[in-house]
Amino acid sequence: TFSPAMHNAAFRHLGLNAIYVAFAVKPSDLVDALRGVRALNVRGLNVTIPHKEAIITLLDDVDTLAKNVGAVNTVTHEDGVLRGFNTDGAGALETLRENGVDPRNKRIVILGAGGAAKAIALTLAPMAREVTIANRTVEKAEALSQRLRTLYKRDVHYCGLNSKNVKTVLREAEILINTTSVGMYPNAGETPIPHNFLHENVTVFDIVYNPRETRLLREARKVGAKTVGGLGMLVHQGVEAFELWTHMKPPVEVMKRVIESMV
């Protein structure tokens, strides 16, 4: 994990007497680990696979978005209350904004229907003009789109990842977000969609950060599309968490520099 280096650099920069450490916790020890958090008065934590879902029932309170996603990646501990959040969606939104992309009123296509897709779709759907979920397992795309429709009463479509429909929805798309692991190291030669589906009027955001420029981003760049890499998301999900823990303005550039030096 890159999180200790990123957060410790931020603590140092702000002169905070705090430290971020990583612990490997077995699923059967999660309850005890949280008792330890309470007893030691740990101020906050991140959780990752395989605890993101299981931790929900062990917390005192869970933010609505995290509840809807069904996964928590950040926990605050204030006045004895453990509260869960999911910062992936806000991290993606901030990454887009930082790159000059405003998702409001845009036609957005999301590839994938897993945990990251859920967090991003739940964050962007209320502000988008139209959202389409395209996933290899079409039933998962259907379930997520149904959920978005119920929650936000918005126009949400779905289709299979390999279908001709992807080509059709992409023609009109203004933002394409890849949340699948296709193209991630060591399978950097792969890409989730054929290059001839891409065009210069779509911003392509790939949350995969290794390699920094995935095949999808390279092919998007070649057709003249604006591209956004996954490093920003890694930084900004951490920035959001840092803010929740400290109630301070995080030193984003410091955190970004640490991540860039490590990835």
Catalytic residues: 52
Q: Which residue minimizes CB distance to ligand ATR?
A: 114
Choice between 112 and 250, CB closer to ligand ATR: 112
Whether 242 contacts 258, CB under 8 Å: no
Choice between 84 and 250, CB closer to ligand ATR: 84
Choice between 77 and 215, CB closer to ligand ATR: 215
> Which position among 47, 55, 62, 113 is part of the footprint of ligand ATR (CB under 6 A)?
113
Under the binding rule (CB under 6 A), the answer on residue 218 touching ligand ATR is: no
Q: Count how many Cα atoms sit within 13 Å of the Cα of residue 152 in the half-sphere of its side chain.
A: 21
Under the binding rule (CB under 6 A), the answer on residue 76 touching ligand ATR is: no
Return the SS3 of 64: helix
> Which position among 2, 30, 67, 140 is part of the footprint of ligand ATR (CB under 6 A)?
140
Under the binding rule (CB under 6 A), the answer on residue 116 touching ligand ATR is: yes
> Which position among 89, 91, 112, 230 is part of the footprint of ligand ATR (CB under 6 A)?
112
Whether 105 contacts 154, CB under 8 Å: no
How many C-beta atoms lie closer than 10 Å to residue 151's C-beta? 14
Instruction: Give the separation between CA 254 and CA 168, rounded to whole angstroms.
Output: 41
Question: DSSP string spanning 107-135?
Answer: EEEEE--SHHHHHHHHHHTTT-SEEEEEE
Pairing of strands 61-62, 81-85: parallel
> Which position among 76, 179, 191, 214 is part of the footprint of ligand ATR (CB under 6 A)?
179
Which of the residues 117 through 136 are near ligand ATR (CB under 6 A)?
A: 117, 135-136
Choice between 183 and 250, CB closer to ligand ATR: 183
How many C-beta atoms lie closer than 10 Å to residue 5's C-beta? 15
Under the binding rule (CB under 6 A), the answer on residue 54 touching ligand ATR is: no
According to DSSP, residue 188 is labeled T
Under the binding rule (CB under 6 A), the answer on residue 86 touching ligand ATR is: no
Pairing of strands 203-206, 227-228: parallel
Which of the residues 144 through 173 are near ligand ATR (CB under 6 A)?
A: 161
Whether 71 contacts 50, CB under 8 Å: no
According to DSSP, residue 228 is labeled E
Under the binding rule (CB under 6 A), the answer on residue 115 touching ligand ATR is: yes
Quote the least distance from Cβ 108 to ligand ATR, whole Å. 16
Choice between 117 and 228, CB closer to ligand ATR: 117
What residues line the site for ligand ATR (CB under 6 A)? 112-117, 135-137, 140, 161, 179-182
